Amino acid sequence: MKLRTRLFLAAFGIATVALLLAGALVTLSLQRQFLDRVESELVAQTRLVADLVARRAATPTVAELDAEADALGLDLGARVTLIAPDGAVLGDSAEDGAGLAAMENHGSRPEIVAARERGIGLTRRFSTTVERDFLYVALPVAHPAVAFARLALPLTVIDEQAASVRRATGIGILLALVGALILAWVTSTAMSRRVAVIAAVARRYAEGDLSRPLRGYGDDEIGTVARALDASVHELGRRLDELSRHRVLTDAILSSMAEGVLVVDNRGQVRMANDTVRTMLGFETSPVGRHYVELIRHPDIAGQIAAALDHGESSRREVTLNTDPPLVLLAGTAALEPAEGDAGRQGAAVVLHDMSKFRQAEQVRQDFVANVSHELRTPLTAVRAAVDALMDGAGKADNRLFIDIIDRHTSRMDRLVSDLLRLARLDAGQETLGVVTFPADALFEAVETELLPLIEERRIRVTRRIAPLAAEITADQAKLHDVVKNLLENAIRYAPADSRVVLGTEPQDQAVLLTVRDRGPGIPSAELKRVFERFYRVEQSRSRDPGGTGLGLAIVKHLVGLHGGVVTAANRPRGGAVFTVRLPQPERPVASASEEAAEEAPADVSQAAS
């Protein structure tokens, strides 16, 4: 049921009940007043009759008294009865002759008894003489023959006049009900419209539109309540906007943090977790709402959170997660203090710092120092031994041998120092690029020419496979020369004698792939990701003392990275290793059909060096 209908029914019902009650009270009051007035008039008329009868002759006849009663009854419009002291009826305006003589003795009538005892008798009863309800009034008469004068008025007359009063009252009530109906409808409609306006504003607020309403709420109590609620909603909206801004700012800060942040409440339920901590701890789904015990499997971190929740302890501890690769974290835990008025702790916050790169860098530094010390100590020891032999007066036949040893090891130290200096420049970003476009075949030929003595010594055949769409390369030619030289030298040193090394290029999605393939022993799968580390070598059983500094592949990685490319190492299915350099290239024109046909049949250029 709509509000307007309820308001209408309530207002109309109240008005109807009020009008009916008021009508009933008015009707009863008017009837009471009318009866009182009729009784008063009847008493006055009875007194008048008693006075008139008292002035008549002392010895009137019955006929004279009956005629007097008839005349008075006709004048007064009421039944007049004159009664003797013994109760006999001497005259009656309703009876004549034989009827009068046959009337019963009225000495025992209630009104006559009351008049005899109290001076006035007033009763309402049924008359057996005329068979009607009458209102009787009897008064004593100061006359020798007539003792009482009685007037009677039929109640039907009174009832008819009361009915007219009731009809008039009913008509008034009906008209009032029509007015109440119209007034209730107008009032309920106006009230429902105001409530509808408030409800529409409330719906707009619920949908997020907090703009001010165009119409006012009125000046009565409903308007006051509506304005108070409106002010409360706007204040709440302002606070929600502020909380939303703070939440967005907090989420942005947490999302941009390199540290992992995890917040739990006093029951151990996770309330906040940024993406970093999800990655660190390996959460596959959102951890919010779950208990930290079922999420965090590392006992040290779980113990820190428990200590913060139970005892309010703050702690920092370095932990290592058994992941691949292992993850070293610095876990800092602190208890969240309760707000003013709250009892107990609010929860705990965990901040995880990823220390893996730092520890790895520290380990690399330690390995680097150890490797450099080892790489320098070995040639220095050989040079020192040769110098001691020369100083001890070795024979002239041995001088050349010792000088060759000194020359070879000092050259090795010179290469080591040069490689270290170049790596230092690359790390510091001091190497610049001079990008040009040049033929890949010319690059390969220059590298092979430079390494020709080593190629001849190892009896390696170098083969070129250059795709037509990758015949030209856009890069720093000198730096790319060093890249290919290091890769080719590495392949020659590890490849078996009388085997083949393949240099190749091929296009790939706005890039050129340079490949160096050999048929050597290959690289263990576990070490493929480490071959580009400084001073890293595969096991000595495979190296056959290649004589390098251990920095060539590290330099290759840096030089390729300087071009925005990547270098990878893999094993060939039928033995040997393949190193692939991917260099981004600028956009080139679309190849023609003849060029595409040439790509399908790449040229093979082989060079064998004995």
Lowest mean per-residue pLDDT among 34-43, 63-72, 333-342: 333-342
Report pLDDT digits (tens) over 329-368.
Answer: 888 888 887 755 555 567 888 888 888 788 777 766 666 6
Give me the helices (H) in 392-476, please: 396-427, 440-450, 452-458
**pTM (two decimals):** 0.42
With a pLDDT cut of 70, the percent of the chain lying above it is: 82
DSSP designation for 525: G
**Is the Cα dihedral 169, 170, 176, 179 positive or negative?**
negative
Confidence class of residue 548 from pLDDT cuts 50, 70 and 90?
Answer: low
Nearest to 282 by CA among 307, 265, 301: 301
**DSSP 3-state assignment of 435?**
strand
Give the model's pLDDT for residue 549. 59
Local confidence band at 606 (pLDDT 50, 70, 90 cut-offs): very low
Residue 542 confidence class, pLDDT cut points 50, 70, 90: very low
**Residue ranges of domains in the chain, CATH in brackets:** 3-162 (3.30.450.20), 257-337+345-354 (3.30.450.20), 360-427 (1.10.287.130), 435-608 (3.30.565.10)
What pLDDT is stored for residue 600 in this prediction?
39
pLDDT bracket for residue 182 (50, 70, 90): confident
Higher pLDDT, 149 or 544: 149
Confidence of residue 39 (pLDDT cuts 50, 70, 90): confident
pLDDT band for position 589 (50/70/90)? low
User: What span, in angstroms and rounded, lies between the C-alpha atoms of 325 and 362?
Assistant: 16
Question: Residue 445 — pLDDT band, cuts 50, 70, 90?
Answer: very high
Least trusted range by pLDDT, from 91-100, 402-411, 468-477, 504-513: 402-411
Average pLDDT, the chain: 78
Is the pLDDT at 426 greater than 80? The verdict is no
Residue 263: is its pLDDT beyond 80?
yes
* Residue 513, pLDDT above cutoff 90: yes
pLDDT, average across residues 156-174: 77
What's the Cα-to-Cα distance from 509 to each of 139, 500, 512, rounded to whole Å?
Answer: 136, 29, 8
What sign does the CA torsion over 120, 53, 156, 165 have?
A: negative
**CA–CA dist 78, 156 (Å, integer):** 12
Give CA separation, 279 vs 140, 285, 351, 473, in Å.
121, 11, 13, 39
562: closest CA among 435, 423, 426, 447?
426
Averaged pLDDT for residues 391-409: 70
User: At a CB cut-off of 8 Å and minimum separation 6, what does 55 contact?
Assistant: none
> What is residue 597's predicted lDDT score, i.e. its pLDDT?
39
Quick check: 601 pLDDT over 50? Answer: no
Mean pLDDT of 281-286: 81
**Rounded Cα gap, residues 205 and 299, in angstroms:** 49
pLDDT grade, residue 609 (50/70/90)?
A: very low
Comparing 145 with 203, which gets the higher pLDDT?
Answer: 145
For residue 184, the model assigns a pLDDT of: 77
Residue 501 — very low, low, confident or very high, per pLDDT cuts 50/70/90? Answer: very high
Tell whether the model's pLDDT for residue 541 goes beyond 70.
no
Higher pLDDT residue, 220 or 503?
503
Which pLDDT score, from 0 to 100, does residue 442 have? 92
Question: Looking at residues 443-458, what average pLDDT do you find?
Answer: 90
More confident residue, 473 or 187: 473
Mean pLDDT of 554-561: 83
Q: Which helix (H) or strand (E) holds 475?
A: strand 472-476
What integer pLDDT is reported at residue 267 of this predicted model?
86
Report residue 464's pLDDT band, with 50, 70 and 90 as the boundaries: very high
Give residue 604's pLDDT: 44
Of 416 and 554, the one with more pLDDT: 554
State the pLDDT at residue 605: 41
Task: Look up residue 294 and give its two tokens.
Answer: 């079922």
Which pLDDT does position 540 carry in this prediction?
A: 44
Residue 145: pLDDT above 50?
A: yes
The pLDDT tens digits for 563-586 are 889 989 888 887 888 999 999 988
Query: At 608, is the pLDDT very low, low, confident or very high (cuts 50, 70, 90)?
Result: very low
Question: Under DSSP, is residue 438 helix (H, G, I), strand (E, B) or coil?
Answer: strand
pLDDT band at 439 (very low <50, low <70, confident <90, very high): very high
Q: What is the pLDDT of residues 209-262, one digit of tens each?
A: 766 665 666 666 777 777 777 778 778 777 878 888 888 887 788 777 878 888
Average pLDDT over residues 499-528: 87
Q: How far is it, in rounded angstroms, from Cα 235 to Cα 202?
A: 14
